[in-house]
Amino acid sequence: MELQKFNAFLEDEIQTLLDGLNAYNYNKVKRDYLPFMIVIKENDLTIAGAQCASTWKWMNIKLLWVEESHSRKGLGRKIMLEIEEEARKRGCLGVHVDTFEFQALEFYQKLGYSIFGEIEDHPPGHRRFYLKKRV
């Protein structure tokens, strides 16, 4: 047995870890993972979008981004409404997301998301929040 450390991600090793975790999980619960992505383009350039996945009756927003020059124009809200609609179509109970206090906490709260978890000093001097909304 040999412990090895790396300062970079090794794709083969990541896949081995993922395969092992998935094998364990899917031995306990049914495999239920379906990705979902939205992008908004302007002149063939992506100016906003989201990467999500539904699993075990919940939609997880892995990332949501709106180009800064297009913020406060309703694009984020439009994306969120599409995500929630897709979650309902898939029979999800709700949507969950995480954000830092300096990112979009108020944005999600205005859309009806409630905090269910928080990490202080992540990054140092800031907080990370976990939010959810039933759909």
pTM summary value = 0.89
Number of domains in the chain: 1
For 52-95, how does the pLDDT look when each residue is reduced to its tens digit (9 = 90+)?
A: 999 999 999 999 999 999 999 999 999 999 999 999 999 999 99
CATH of the domain at 59: 3.40.630.30
Does 23 map to a domain?
Answer: no
What is the model's pLDDT at position 74? 97
Q: Residue 45 sits in which domain range? A: 30-134
What is the model's pLDDT at position 11? 93
Query: Distance between CA 35 and CA 57 in Å, rounded?
Result: 13
Does 14 map to a domain?
Answer: no
The mean predicted confidence, pLDDT, of the chain is 96
How wide is the angle at C-alpha 56 spanned by C-alphas 53 and 62, nearest 5°? 25
Does 80 map to a domain?
Answer: yes
Q: Report long-range pairs for 26-33 (Cβ below 8 Å, ≥24 apart).
A: 29/56, 32/56, 32/57
